[in-house]
A and B are shown apart, each in its own frame.
Chain A
Amino acid sequence: MPKEASLSQLVNKYFYTHQFPTMWCPGCGCGTVAMAMVRAIDRLELDFDKVIHVAGIGCAPVAHWYTTFTALQTAHGRALASATGIKLANPELTVVVTLGDGDCAAIGGNHLIHACRRNIDLTAIVYNNFNYGMTGGQVGPTTPLEAITSTAPYGNLEPPFDLCKLAEAAGATYVARGTVYYIRELISLIEQGIKHKGFSFIDVFTPCPTSFGRRNKQGTPGQMFKAQKDLTVPIKKAKGLSPDELQGKWPRGVLVEKEAPEFTEEYEKLIARVQKRSS
């Protein structure tokens, strides 16, 4: 196995270091997820000029301010729609999409289900910090029941989405859940997601100590990282647990991996078929 690039090699190759320090708060998990994405891309030895990084709006999506990939930042919630346009116009490109959980499932939820349904070859990485971090920690569709946010000061009443189940039900052919705590696993989940032909959806639990952790008394950022050990169980183990034992735990790892016709390929086939008929 070839030797992995060192951390400093990765940073120098994939980040605009003159932009450091990043705007992320100390202890935020966003940088860890961005680093995992970069490591995965590096392992895959992708042609740098054929990778496009698409991002919405929020703390997570600012990852593209620092990475050296060609990037498109769109409106809040619209990243998957723009990524769909990029991929259809040039299917040769590897399109990696960075989303916040609100970006992905609240304001942009509609685009998510349709990207899954089409099974278009994009890789969506959702930095799931359970609230709208950038705007100061409001309640969103991933906020756990009873969690405190700036717009739910006595606890959230609305049941959250299980984003992975949502993506699976909508037709995504690769669905995984990772955490910043299990970083090696996260890197390989992203790597497999990018390799997978079809829509890949990776839900990444990542701490937002500033907006979410403080309000919910989750301790230091270090404690928030560690808490992901108890919050998640590997999917293999989860399969052997009863619903009661699974209560409050999220399965982790590759949850869905299957083959299905990919949208841009089907599109090409349709063009070929119709052109053949008319010629």
Chain B
Amino acid sequence: MSCRVALEASHAVAEAVRMADVDVIAAYPITPQTHIPERLAEMVADGELSAAYIPVESEHSALSACLGAVAVGARTFTTTAGQGLELMHEVVYVASSMRYPMVMVIANRALSAPLSVWGDHSDVMSVRDTGWIQVFAQNNQEAFDLVLWGFRVAEDSRVLTPVMVNLDGFTLSHVTEAVILPEQEVVNSFLPPFHYPFVLNPDKPATHGAFAAPDIYTETKISQEVALRKSKDILLQGWQEFGDMFGRHYRPVEIYRVEGAKTLLLTMGSFTETAKMVIDARRDRGELVGLVSLRLWRPFPFTEFRQAVKEADTLIVLDRSISFGGQGGPVCSEVRSALFSEPKRPVVVSFVGGLGGRDMAEEDFGYVLDRGREVAAKGSPELFETVGVRGEVSGIRDL
């Protein structure tokens, strides 16, 4: 029997890793990720999970250890946040370019300086182009589900690409909610044992990750790009089968109360659930507003995204990080260019909020909806606005 238990998202992740029967875990502690490796270390020590837990000396070593483990065929997990992901950066590219399937959970955290341990999406945005499959969880159940799903799709022989599951630091990682844990047999049938097709084997000598001269480098990179794009169908299939087995259904672009909506708000991660409450209240008042959230960030779900927003007049995008000197939020620039070639497209308005753990309360979402429509009505806005920032800088749009 499946059971419903109260778990913080970090422990829900650890449960998923346990049920996935992972072989190797290598991690370095960093707030707000620490509860994940701590729980896993405990599970390994208690014999609840038969795995090697490697308490490495840095994140760079954590992911490097994972590379080695996958190369010899181990199901492998790591987890980090903020500065840790930055220190890993070099190896993040190596993992995806070597086509090493594994799952990494990021408890999203702001980046220094100034030092902040609180949540935003600056960390994951800095690895946007690294070639990993990247998804966002909105609550604890999703954190659990996406880890299981992550192993399943990463290890698919047509994909062989690592998966990064993002969950917001503190607002998810440290929050306790009810989570349904499935039966082990069901998990086993969803997630077959891992057979890495290119296991390093002295009897069949091969080298992974060797040198590529200019005559072959382009081809390797393009084959990686083709594979990542093609993986989308398998990711969707994975969600389909997950839904059939577990009764919870996931889509690359989630929509909420979009029927007849003239204005759509776009969010990612845990902001989505707060935004839903605000959309409900506005709908009750008769406003034609709805919500779109990106679950799949890489490969970017162009078709599903365009489909989701095509009837709207205004699309308000709320980013949790800044692309300095660029168009504002990285998600917004992406979304704008995804719409550029569309014959009919909404006016896109960009907001940045919730940096370094700054709370985004219901009123703030309400402000974003009102102000976003006001800006859209005035014409085509180019710059972004930061929600609730104090001082002269609040109206960057007006500069």
Give chain A's interface residues, CB within 8 Å of chain B.
57, 73, 75-77, 106-107, 109, 132, 134-136, 138-141, 150-154, 158
Contacts and interface: CB of A to CB of B under 8 A. Distances in A.
Given A151-B53, A153-B45, A77 B58 contact: yes
B57 interface: yes
A136 B58 CA distance: 16
Contact of B58 (A73, A107, A151, A158): A107
Interface residues of B, number: 20
B386 interface: no
Nearest to B113: A73
Contacts of B53: 151
A135 B30 contact: yes
Contacts of B28: 106-107
15 contacts: A57-B83, A57-B115, A73-B115, A75-B83, A76-B83, A77-B58, A107-B57, A135-B34, A136-B29, A138-B37, A138-B38, A151-B55, A152-B41, A153-B41, A153-B42
B112 interface: yes
Contacts, number: 52
Majority DSSP secondary structure for residues of B touching A: loop
B31 interface: yes
A136 B87 CA distance: 20
A106 B29 contact: no
Nearest to A158: B55
Interface in B103-143: 112-113, 115
Contacts of A76: 83
Given A135-B29, A138-B29, A150-B38, 7 more contacts: A73-B115, A136-B29, A140-B57, A150-B41, A151-B29, A151-B55, A153-B42
Given A57-B115, A75-B83, A75-B112, A138 B42 contact: no
Contacts of B29: 132, 135-136, 138, 151
Interface string B332-369: 00000000000000000000000000000000000000
A76 B31 CA distance: 12
Contacts of B31: 134-135
Nearest to B60: A107
Contacts of A106: 28, 57-58
Contacts of B34: 135-136, 138, 150
Nearest to A139: B55
B254 to A, nearest CB: 33
B57 to A, nearest CB: 4
Contacts of A153: 41-42, 45-46
A136 B57 contact: no
Contacts of A151: 29, 37-38, 41, 53, 55
B280 to A, nearest CB: 38
A73 B115 CA distance: 9
Interface in B22-75: 28-31, 34, 37-38, 41-42, 45-46, 53, 55, 57-58
Contacts of A158: 55
B41 to A, nearest CB: 4
B139 to A, nearest CB: 24
Contacts of B113: 73
B224 to A, nearest CB: 30
A141 B30 contact: no
A224 B104 CA distance: 38
A135 B57 CA distance: 14
A258 B43 CA distance: 49
Contacts of A135: 29-31, 34
A106 to B, nearest CB: 4
A154 B42 CA distance: 9
Contacts of A136: 29, 34, 38
A169 to B, nearest CB: 18
